[in-house]
């Protein structure tokens, strides 16, 4: 469920459409609204999930070109969600970007081992997020 | 189910049957069989003094169901000592364990309260972020004031961002000035500006 109507508009550009669908999985409401604002401005359609369980269920229920996944979430963390997705034949090819506060090389390696295609460290600027989404969503098999 | 041997009259040990039962459960907590460990963990909730042993087991336990049973028992024990030991898992590299500890701490607000100052002053910014995330979800009247203190005093952008996210959920109008000050501090950071504007809008709309 989007709360986009109660959030400020992101200053970056006018909306265009048709770049693909992105599933944003993050327990922080501000983070989800920010990603939605930036990614919709870049032309993506955005769906939200608040934890790994909901994210996995939404990924199963609908096709996405990219998943943006937080690491520290209740119920199912980002690593566990990615591992579940990478072992599911229906989802294993969907590109995924993890975003975390943890900036060490060890954390990045852990995310990549779990199945992430790209690892970003918070805070992520709108330009960086858009560039990575465009680059990684382009690998989608859809 | 762990079987604790029934004692016959006159055979009690100096500590009495409760101590024998507790010690048998502590032994079963180290069993090779997960179902025995799980049962022992559940039953040890009746013995608050075993919180350190439950936490020691939690640190090495690999079975998700045993971990869940240990965490449930620690929540039921709900002592400041249990909360303090659980808080140590915020440093764990194991995200599942870390998140389990966070969720447990959210369920024991009274026991958590005495540890908040220390956690918010931790040298590791990730620990401070996790503490802020706990405060954002815990049923504590003082939680919004703690989050406001974080945005006034913490210099780390991600700690402040986590606190802003929490204030978007539980903050009051008396925190709007602190949010405005923070926006000036992080002027030019498009995420922080967005997050603060979002939180301020949500607070005003309540």
For the segment A108-123, what is each residue's pLDDT rounded down to a tens digit? Answer: 888 899 999 999 998 8
Is residue A135's pLDDT more than 60? yes
Identify all chain B residues contacting A110, using CB atoms and an 8 Å cutoff: 93
CA dist B134 and B107 (Å) reads 10
Q: Cis peptide leading into A36, omega within 30 of 0?
A: no
> Quick check: B200 contacting A, CB < 8 Å?
no
> Quick check: B105 contacting A, CB < 8 Å?
no
What average pLDDT does the segment A101-107 reach?
A: 74
Say yes or no: ipTM exceeds 0.90. Answer: no
> Quick check: B157 contacting A, CB < 8 Å?
yes
- What is the average pLDDT value for chain B, to the nearest integer? 92
Q: Does residue A6 form part of some domain?
A: no
Identify all chain A residues contacting B165, using CB atoms and an 8 Å cutoff: 28-31
Q: Does residue A7 form part of some domain?
A: no
CA dist B98 and B196 (Å) reads 27
CA dist B18 and A94 (Å) reads 55
CA dist A6 and B103 (Å) reads 28
Instruction: Please name the residue of chain B whose CA is at the shortest distance from the CA of residue A70.
Output: B95
pLDDT in tens, B115-171: 999 999 999 999 999 999 999 999 899 999 999 999 999 999 999 999 999 999 999
pLDDT in tens, B164-193: 999 999 999 999 999 999 999 999 999 999
Above pLDDT 90, what percent of chain B?
86
Q: Does residue A26 form part of some domain?
A: yes
For residues A41 and B20, the model is more confident at A41
Q: H-type helices in A67-141, by residue range?
A: 78-86, 105-114, 126-137
Identify all chain B residues contacting A123, using CB atoms and an 8 Å cutoff: 157-158, 161, 189, 191-192
| pLDDT reported for residue A19 | 83
For chain A, the first-to-last Cα distance in angstroms comes to 24
Strand-pairing partners, residue B51, are: none
- What is the average pLDDT value for chain A, to the nearest integer? 85
Alpha carbon of B122: minimum distance to chain A alpha carbons (Å) = 15
| pLDDT reported for residue A72 | 85
Is residue A18's pLDDT more than 90? no
What average pLDDT does the segment A65-69 reach?
A: 96
Residue B135 near residue B105 (C-beta atoms within 8 A)? no
For residues B12 and B98, the model is more confident at B98
Q: Among A128, A91, A120, which Cα is nearest to A103's? A: A120
Is residue B89's pLDDT more than 70? yes
Residue A107 near residue A85 (C-beta atoms within 8 A)? no
What average pLDDT does the segment B21-36 reach?
A: 96
Identify all chain B residues contacting A6, using CB atoms and an 8 Å cutoff: 198, 201-202, 205
Identify all chain A residues contacting B99, using CB atoms and an 8 Å cutoff: 72-74, 77
Is residue B6's pLDDT more than 50? no
Any idea where the domains of chain B sit in the sequence? 16-114, 115-206
Identify all chain A residues contacting B96, using CB atoms and an 8 Å cutoff: 77, 79-80
Residue A51 near residue A27 (C-beta atoms within 8 A)? yes
pTM: 0.83
| pLDDT reported for residue A107 | 77
Which one of A9, A40, A101, A126 would you mutate to disrupt binding with B, by most B Cβ within 10 Å of its Cβ? A101
What average pLDDT does the segment B24-45 reach?
A: 97
Q: What class is the B16-114 domain?
A: mainly alpha
Q: Does residue A3 form part of some domain?
A: no
Is residue A70's pLDDT more than 70? yes
Is residue A42's pLDDT more than 70? yes
CA dist B85 and B75 (Å) reads 12
Total domains in chain A come to: 1
| pLDDT reported for residue B7 | 44
- Cβ contact B201–A125 (<8 Å): no
| H/E run at residue A96 | strand A96-100
Q: Could you tell me the pLDDT band of residue A75, with boundaries at 50, 70 and 90? A: confident
Look up tokens 């028992």; give the residue: B73
| pLDDT reported for residue B112 | 97
Q: Does residue A4 form part of some domain?
A: no
CATH of the domain at A46: 3.40.50.2300
Angle between helices A29-41 and A126-137 (to 10 degrees): 70
- Cβ contact A101–B126 (<8 Å): yes
| pLDDT reported for residue B63 | 96
Task: Please give the residue range of the domain that contains residue A55.
Answer: 16-137
- Cβ contact A72–B99 (<8 Å): yes
What average pLDDT does the segment B58-65 reach?
A: 96
């Amino acid at each position: 469920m989007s709360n986009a109507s109660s959030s400020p508009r992101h200053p970056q550009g006018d909306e265009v459409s048709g770049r693909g669908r992105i599933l944003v999985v993050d327990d922080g409401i501000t983070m989800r609204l920010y990603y939605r604002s930036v990614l919709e401005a870049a032309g993506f359609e955005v769906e939200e999930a608040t934890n790994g369980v909901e994210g996995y269920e939404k990924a199963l229920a609908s096709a996405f070109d990219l998943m943006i996944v937080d690491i520290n979430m209740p119920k199912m963390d980002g690593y566990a969600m990615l591992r579940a997705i990478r072992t599911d034949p229906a989802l294993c090819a969907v590109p995924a970007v993890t975003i975390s506060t943890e900036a060490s090389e060890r954390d990045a390696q852990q995310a990549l081992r779990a199945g992430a295609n790209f690892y970003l460290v918070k805070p992520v600027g709108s330009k960086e997020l858009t560039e990575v989404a465009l680059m990684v969503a382009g690998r989608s098999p859809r | 189910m762990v079987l604790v041997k029934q004692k016959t009259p006159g055979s009690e040990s100096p500590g009495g049957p409760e101590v024998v039962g507790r010690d048998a459960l502590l032994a079963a907590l180290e069993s090779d069989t997960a179902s025995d460990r799980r049962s022992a963990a559940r039953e040890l909730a009746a013995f608050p003094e075993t919180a350190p042993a439950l936490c020691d087991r939690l640190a090495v336990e690999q079975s998700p169901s045993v971990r869940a049973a240990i965490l449930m028992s620690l929540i039921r024990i709900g002592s400041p000592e249990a909360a303090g030991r659980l808080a140590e898992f915020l440093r764990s590299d194991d995200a599942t364990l870390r998140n389990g500890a966070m969720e447990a701490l959210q369920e024991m607000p009274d026991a958590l309260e005495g540890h908040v100052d220390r956690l918010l002053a931790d040298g590791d910014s990730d620990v401070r972020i996790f503490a802020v995330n706990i405060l954002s979800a815990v049923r504590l009247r003082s939680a919004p004031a703690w989050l406001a203190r974080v945005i006034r005093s913490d210099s780390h952008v991600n700690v402040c961002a986590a606190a802003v996210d929490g204030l978007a959920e539980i903050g009051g109008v008396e925190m709007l000035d602190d949010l405005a000050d923070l926006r000036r501090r992080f002027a030019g950071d498009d995420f922080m500006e967005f997050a603060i504007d979002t939180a301020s809008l949500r607070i005003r709309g309540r």
